[in-house]
Every structure is written in structure tokens, then in C-alpha cells.
Structure 1
Amino acid sequence: MTTHSTAHPSLHDVLRLDRTEEDRFRSRLVYPDEKPLYGGQIAAQALVAAGRTVGEDRSPNSLHLYYLRSGTASRATEFRVQRDRDGRTFSARRVVAVQDGKVIATASCSFGVAASGPDIQAASAPEVPGDPEDFPVYPAPRMFGLDCRLPPGPRSAEWPTRFWARAVDAPVGDGLMRAATLTYLSDRSNGLGGLDLPVPVIPASLDHAIWFHRRVDPADWMLMDLVPHTLSAERMWYTGTIHDRSGALAASLAQELLTRPRAPRTS
């Protein structure tokens, strides 16, 4: 199976998977990286794998994923899909992500047909004055095809809890590709920047959930807002939202982090 390594990968490269068997897929992109494989990439690719086994009339409505082992970007990941159910309205899939014969993540995904009915958004999007393009760039060296910008105001230099983002090379496609783009973005930063931590910690994702509410254009600016709720027993839980530029709630997310104290540097 051919894999591709490039100095300048695109979002299309990230989300493109090869079908190796009827319900098995393999990522095409590998690249050198000293850090563990970005969790948003695993989640987005798992969603794409699951979505390629459901009917074209169904789009993602949620994903729940557990990170079990650190992956590496220098090796391709295999995604094994289990077809749990296909009902008249919803389809359920389970996905196992594997590297070198070891499971690095498991996911459950739900897909549904388009439906009509009331469209109610209980809370407004956070107010962020100014134009995103005028704000400084939020560097994302391990995330490809995304332009992230930091609005003014109090923020953590390492883990900002509010920023704008857009896909600069969004794959042209259906609701699956749009949802996968939001999933790829959803693991960027975390809620740690909203806490007054007594000691620095090293965050590692334990599990991740995202719900898709409304279709948006990922090529337009989206506001990501993260809210910490609790930290105890070295586990931190936060929630978040992704709104489009008009203020429509596109997706909600929740994640638990392992937050072990960072060892002091030695001279």
C-alpha cells in the first residue's frame, strides 16, 4: 500500500484514506514528527472511515473516541470498521485504529438522514469584536490546512481557550468531509488555559466527543471556545463549542485530559 510523505501536507492529504478491504481503511499520509500523533487526526480519519461504510443519504451526528496508546505520524494507521446497525434513520459504526498491530484508539460514530423540524439555539455565540484576518496567527505546525487566529484579550500563550479558525484547502465534498474537518480542528488546544494551575502539567487526551448540529462551510471563519469545568485526580474535563461567523452553533465537544505535573528542567 502506497503512503505519501510531503513537506507541506494539505487537509486533503490528512482526510484521504485507501480502502484495503470492504470495511478496512488505511491512512495515506506519513510524516516525521517527534511528538505523538495528533489526536484530532486520529479522530477525523476514524470518522471518515466509518462514514465511507454508510449510505450517501446519511451524515455524521456524533463521534465518541477513546485514546488508548500514543500513535506516531511516521507510520500509517489502519482503521477497522464494525457495522453495528443500519436503521431507517440512523446508522451506528465502531472503529478501531491500529498501528503496528496495536490498538491506539477506538471510536463510536453515529450517522443520520436529513430531518426537518424546529431549529432553536438556546445560547448566543461568544462576542469577539474585530475581523479574524486582522488578528495574529495562532501557530499550528502539526495541523495541516488550517489557518488559526488569536483574538485580543486574556489568553494562555500555550493553550488559548478562544480562537478563530478556517480551512484554507477544505476538501470539496459532502457532509462527511465537513464534519471531519470540524473533528480535525476540535482537538486544537484545550481548556487548561482557563485554569490557574499551581504547577505546569503535560496534557494528554483520554477521550473525546463531538456532536454535529448544523452544517457550516469550514473554509469560512469558525470560532472555537473552550470552557474548563473540573480538575482532580490528574484528570481535567472541559467542554467547547464551534460557531460559524454568523453565530450559528456548528458543533459541541467535550474532552477529558490526563494532566500529570511536568518534571522540572535540569541544568
Structure 2
Amino acid sequence: MHGVPDLSHVALLDVLSLERVDLDLFRSTVLFEEPESLYGGQVAAQALLAAGATVPEGRTPHSLHGYFLRPGDSHQSVVFTVERDRDGRSFSARRVVARQQGRVILNLSASFHDAVDGEPDETSLVAPEAGVAGPLSRPHRLIGFEQRPVGQPGHSWPTQVWLRCTEALPEQPLMHAAVLTYLSDIYTGHGSLASSKDRVQSTLDHALWLHRPARADRWLLMDLQSRAVSQGRGLYAGSVWSEDG
């Protein structure tokens, strides 16, 4: 376990790395000296990695559902406890509780399935070269990614962004799924909420479905849509597409 001054001094793979304390018990290894709260996408990604370390070989995540119960402290390590709910012939179900100082900050459920080859649907997408390189919200939270917002006339807040991880990632599908999970909480589809300077946005619950394998170190288009904003809460849905659609 080691500390770093801020996110600019650490690699994404180091941030997501876990120490296996016991058979179904894991702990984060990087602490931050910066005063910000812990990024929820990081905690969810680490919870998925902890769950994936306990499933039979060859099974990859296809969905996860999480509830963020308390803000995390970037100065403290996170302990992840995995419950093995089920191992069937082709599916595995896991529950993960993330704690700091004995207090629960995240409950996450994840389902895994034996990898099956299939033909992808093809969708026409704007090329990543059409985007403009530059930071968006909370750029300090996005470690190891290049981002290119897609120009959208009439939109005060971009809802389409091309992204790719600039770090060399291992071949394991679980790690790419974890990096996508890390990425999935960085933006929202709520332009007015996201750009408000007097609001602090926090994710309450988060769900992700992984229909096909995708490499996070290649260009991916994140397409976000605001569904509802009411009583200080918002709901948005997003899709992530590879370059070939």
C-alpha cells in the first residue's frame, strides 16, 4: 500500500490494483493525498475485479448493479468482501461489499457468464477524428484516457465523447470490463446539472450491461441521454460503442 500526491502521479492499473488478503477478501493498494472524495467509478471497478477473481476461469461479467451508500475517503484504503451467491453450469453471481473503517460505501452485485462467440450488430458512427481533444468535467478524475468530445451544435454540454485508454492493458477481458466500469461513472447526460457550480454531483445507484467484449485501449464512443431530472435527482442512460459499431 502506498500514497500518491494526486492522480497525475499514478497509472490507472495501479489505482485499480487489489491486494488479496484472504480467499474472498481484497484491499485497495493506492491512497491519495488530495482532499477529494473517492471516485465512485474506481470503487465499482475494483469491486468488479474482486468479484471476478472468485469466479471459474473463462467467465466474464455481463452485468453489474451497485448502490453508493456513503462518500469514500481517498486517504483510506477500501476493503472488498465477496459473497459467492451462485456458481451454475454457465453463470456465476457475486455480491461485493466495499467498506472503509467498517462503514459500507458500496454494495455491488455482478453476474458472470461463460464467454460465447457471436456476430456484432453494425452501427454507423462518427469517426473519433471528428472529435476535438480537450478536457471535460472532472478531468482530474479520468486517469490514463484520451478524450475527444463530438461537436454537437445547439448543445451546451456534449453528450457524445470518444475515449480510449492510453495505458497498455493486459489481454484479460475482466480488466477491460473493469476499465469500462471505471469510465462509466465519469460523465452524466445532465448538462444543466453537470455544469452547475453550486451543486456537488454524487451517483446514488449505477448499472452496467456488457453485451459484447470491448477493448478499453481502443476508441470507444460514449453516448449519453438524460431521461429525467426531478427533486434534485437525475436519471441518465448511456451506450458505449466500439469503432466498428
TM-score after normalising by structure 1: 0.82
Q: CA deviation at 1:232?
A: 1.8
1:74-107: CA deviation from partner (whole Å, max 9, x where unpaired): 1111100000000001000000000111000100
| Whole-Å separation in 2 of the counterparts to 1:143 and 1:58 | 28
C-alpha contact (below 8 Å) 1:12/1:170 kept by paired residues: no
Q: CA deviation at 1:136?
A: 2.2
Amino acid at match of 2:238: G
| Whole-Å separation in 1 of the counterparts to 2:28 and 2:184 | 19
SS of the residue aligned with 1:131? helix
Structure 1 pair 152/104, CA: closer, same or farther in 2 (3 Å)?
same
Amino acid at match of 2:171: G
**Aligned mate of 2:213, from 212, 215, 224:** 215
SS of the residue aligned with 1:188? coil
1:170-202: CA deviation from partner (whole Å, max 9, x where unpaired): 421311001001101101110111789999643
Amino acid at match of 1:206: L
Query: Following superposition of structure 1 onto structure 2, how do residues 65-214 of structure 1 map, counting pairs within 5 Å?
Result: 65-116=66-117, 119=119, 121=121, 124=123, 127-129=125-127, 131=129, 135-139=132-136, 140-154=139-153, 155-156=155-156, 160-193=158-191, 201-214=199-212
Q: CA deviation at 1:129?
A: 4.8
| Whole-Å separation in 2 of the counterparts to 1:210 and 1:237 | 14
Structure 1 pair 57/206, CA: closer, same or farther in 2 (3 Å)?
same
| Whole-Å separation in 1 of the counterparts to 2:217 and 2:197 | 38
Amino acid at match of 1:79: F
Instruction: Indicate the larger mover: 40-49 or 225-234.
Output: 225-234
Structure 1 pair 129/194, CA: closer, same or farther in 2 (3 Å)?
farther
Amino acid at match of 1:243: W
Amino acid at match of 2:148: R
Q: Report the aligned-residue RMSD.
A: 2.4
C-alpha contact (below 8 Å) 1:146/1:166 kept by paired residues: yes
Amino acid at match of 1:144: I
| Whole-Å separation in 1 of the counterparts to 2:74 and 2:196 | 32
Q: CA deviation at 1:61?
A: 0.6
For structure 1, the 5+ residue unaligned runs are: 248-267
Identity score, percent: 43
| Whole-Å separation in 1 of the counterparts to 2:37 and 2:214 | 30
| Whole-Å separation in 2 of the counterparts to 1:195 and 1:96 | 29
| Whole-Å separation in 1 of the counterparts to 2:106 and 2:194 | 30
Q: How many residues are treated as equivalent by the alignment?
A: 240
Instruction: Indicate the larger mover: 231-240 or 95-104.
Output: 231-240
SS of the residue aligned with 1:204? coil
TM-score after normalising by structure 2: 0.89
Structure 1 position 231 matched with structure 2 position 229:
yes
| Whole-Å separation in 2 of the counterparts to 1:130 and 1:211 | 23
C-alpha contact (below 8 Å) 1:135/1:152 kept by paired residues: yes
| Whole-Å separation in 1 of the counterparts to 2:91 and 2:227 | 31
C-alpha contact (below 8 Å) 2:65/2:206 kept by paired residues: yes
Amino acid at match of 2:43: I
C-alpha contact (below 8 Å) 1:3/1:27 kept by paired residues: no
SS of the residue aligned with 2:191? helix
